């Protein structure tokens, strides 16, 4: 997923919250869990930045990384 604006990051966070809700439902029913960690979100930001660099958009890559780090600093660990 290429994320180039705040709305894109909002979509990433929306999907993460959806997965977390699914995890909660699975846990209540004693089923295997799907876990999305801060590290997973950071990896996603790095992969997105690499794709932007490969496309020649270094300024968008930097923006992706800044947004990703911003999300991580506002996430409870």
The torsion angles phi and psi of 35, rounded to 5 degrees, stand at -115, 125
SS3 55: coil
Range of the domain at 61: 6-73
Asked whether residue 1 is domain-assigned, the answer is: no
pLDDT in tens, 33-77: 667 778 888 888 888 889 999 999 999 999 888 888 887 777 655
The SS3 call for residue 33 is coil
pTM tops 0.75, yes or no:
no
User: Is position 27 within any domain?
Assistant: yes
In a domain, 51, yes or no: yes
Please provide the DSSP assignment of 44-55 as one string: HHHHHHHHHHHT
- Count up the domains in the chain and report the number: 1
Q: How far apart are CA 37 and CA 41, in angstroms?
A: 7
């Amino acid at each position: 997923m290429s994320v180039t604006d705040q709305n894109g990051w909002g979509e990433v966070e929306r999907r993460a919250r959806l997965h977390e809700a699914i995890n909660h439902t699975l846990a209540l029913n004693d089923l295997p869990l799907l876990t999305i960690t801060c590290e997973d979100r950071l990896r996603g930001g790095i992969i997105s930045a690499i794709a932007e660099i490969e496309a020649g958009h270094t300024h968008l890559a930097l923006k992706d990384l800044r947004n990703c780090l911003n999300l991580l600093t506002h996430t409870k660990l």
